[in-house]
Chain A
Amino acid sequence: MNRKEELITRWIDGELNAETRAEFDELMKGDPDFCARVRQEAEGIGNAMRAEIPADVEPPYPDFFNSQIQKRIRQDNQPAAARPSAGGFSVLWWLRSPLTWGVAALFMILLFSRSGERVGGAGSYVVSTYAPDPKVKVERAEYDDDAEATVIMLTGLEPIPDDVEVKGRDITAYEPSGSRGGGIFYAGQAQLAYVMERDIWGVPEILVR
């Protein structure tokens, strides 16, 4: 990797310090041809992606993907002094890159856009699964011909203590309310059963029962 490529890689990874940032800015000013080529290649790849991936295919885990983008923007907006030093190269530096995750997301999109076509039979099917807790594994996610149902098997979940009383309700209707994705749940004809609110992080909480 030459110095130009190294600088661009570091810029993409958010690992430019004050010194290398200045060097990068000089590079962008001093070599317009190189910048134009980078832009052109990027556009070419973008066009190829748009041709390959149907417009209605979303990344499998957009919230995770967006969080990586937001992280990158936050890093870019930090004062140079506040940024972590990028003094030495680590052999595995690329593993820390948000863009490594981005490429992984691209592969997942391509994979899932094809798997959707592949499994489109008579039954329901799962296109993708993701367990946010690393301790939780999706052991199985497939259509079970015998059961005529799609089965998602999770392992690694914390068992619910025996003294916890798990109670169910017979809910007959739900009406969205509020701007955060909460709602009101009714049992029977119009009997209020639950009111659900979500906090700023999107975590639901049942307020009234």
Chain B
Amino acid sequence: MRRQASIINAFLAMVFALACPLANAQKDRAAGPGEKSTLNTKFWGALVYASNDTAEKQVKKDLALRLGKAFKQYKTFELLGQHTQDKVFRDYVNWIVPSDELNLEFESKGPAEDGGMKVLLKLWQKKKVLVKSDAVIKPGKPLFIAGPLWRGGRLLFVLELRK
């Protein structure tokens, strides 16, 4: 019985311990600073069509090689759109929008201890969130997200942190 009461109390403690800082964090973000501070970081995002057809505009050779290893069922990787972002806004939501079909929302959570950047990602397809993710992105080590099937192939989202 006492153990059950302890579990109940743990519920209470956890709710208050976690809810209060979260609520405050949301408030701080909404207040917004006068100037937009940025991080000296460059992101590159791309919408890629993976298929076994011929491609009009292939992605660069190095990226195609990596995509081929990650998605072995596809032979060609066509670059549909890209977004190069030189500035990452510290206190704002950032977007990588290589196309209006699939786009990526991300918030920087600061530098990771072992290099790279901590980010909170949301991949949108039009008005629907496909996936949310907490991730650490390091330069030269891209993130590939396999999206919906389309015309016998698949749409992929590529996110890369560039030096």
Interface residues of A (CB under 8 A from B): 1-2, 5, 8-9, 12, 38, 41-46, 49-50, 58-62, 65-66, 69, 72, 99, 102-103, 105-106, 112, 116, 120-133, 136, 138, 141, 143-144, 146-154, 157-160, 162, 164, 166-174, 176, 179, 181, 183, 185, 194, 196, 203-206, 209
Chain A contacts of B143 at CB under 8 A?
Answer: 124, 126, 149-152
Task: Kindly report which residue of chain A lies nearest to residue B80, judged by CB atoms.
Answer: A168
CB distance from B11 to the nearest CB of A (A): 4
The 9 closest A-B pairs by CB, nearest first: A168-B81, A168-B80, A171-B83, A181-B93, A147-B70, A147-B69, A127-B134, A99-B11, A45-B13
B interface, size bucket: 35 or more
Question: A147 to B67, Cβ gap below 8 A?
Answer: yes
Question: B10 to A103, Cβ gap below 8 A?
Answer: yes
If A166-B101, A185-B97 touch, does A130 touch B13 (CB 8 Å cutoff)? no
Report the bound CA distance from A179 to B26 in whole Å: 13
Question: A149 to B142, Cβ gap below 8 A?
Answer: yes
Question: B95 to A174, Cβ gap below 8 A?
Answer: yes
Question: A136 to B89, Cβ gap below 8 A?
Answer: no
26 A-B residue contacts at CB 8 Å?
A1-B1, A38-B12, A49-B14, A58-B22, A99-B11, A103-B11, A124-B135, A124-B137, A124-B142, A125-B135, A125-B136, A126-B135, A127-B135, A131-B131, A136-B130, A146-B69, A152-B145, A162-B150, A166-B49, A167-B81, A168-B47, A169-B99, A172-B84, A176-B93, A185-B95, A206-B97
Chain A contacts of B60 at CB under 8 A?
Answer: none
Report the bound CA distance from A192 to B83 in whole Å: 13
Chain A contacts of B161 at CB under 8 A?
Answer: 124
Report the bound CA distance from A129 to B15 in whole Å: 22
Question: A65 to B70, Cβ gap below 8 A?
Answer: no
Which among A66, A132, A149, A150 is the interface contact of B129 at CB below 8 angstroms? A132
Question: B17 to A46, Cβ gap below 8 A?
Answer: yes
Report the bound CA distance from A172 to B149 in whole Å: 27
Which among B25, B94, B101, B140 is the interface contact of A160 at CB below 8 angstroms? B101
Question: B148 to A160, Cβ gap below 8 A?
Answer: yes
Report the bound CA distance from A181 to B114 in whole Å: 29
CB distance from B2 to the nearest CB of A (A): 9
Known pairs A41-B13, A99-B11. 17 more at Cβ < 8 A?
A42-B12, A58-B22, A59-B18, A102-B18, A112-B134, A124-B116, A124-B136, A126-B134, A129-B132, A152-B144, A157-B148, A159-B148, A162-B151, A167-B80, A169-B81, A181-B92, A181-B105
Task: Kindly report which residue of chain A lies nearest to residue B101, judged by CB atoms.
Answer: A166
Question: Is residue B54 contacting chain A, with contact meaning CB distance below 8 A?
Answer: no
Question: A102 to B17, Cβ gap below 8 A?
Answer: no
Question: A45 to B150, Cβ gap below 8 A?
Answer: no
Q: Which of A1, A170, A171, A185 has the most CB of B within 10 A?
A: A171
Chain A contacts of B11 at CB under 8 A?
Answer: 12, 99, 102-103
Chain B contacts of A124 at CB under 8 A?
Answer: 116, 135-138, 141-143, 161
Contact with A along B98-111 (1 / 0, CB 8 A): 11110101000000
Chain A contacts of B81 at CB under 8 A?
Answer: 167-171
Which among B101, B136, B144 is the interface contact of A151 at CB below 8 angstroms? B144
Task: Kindly report which residue of chain B lies nearest to residue A145, judged by CB atoms.
Answer: B69
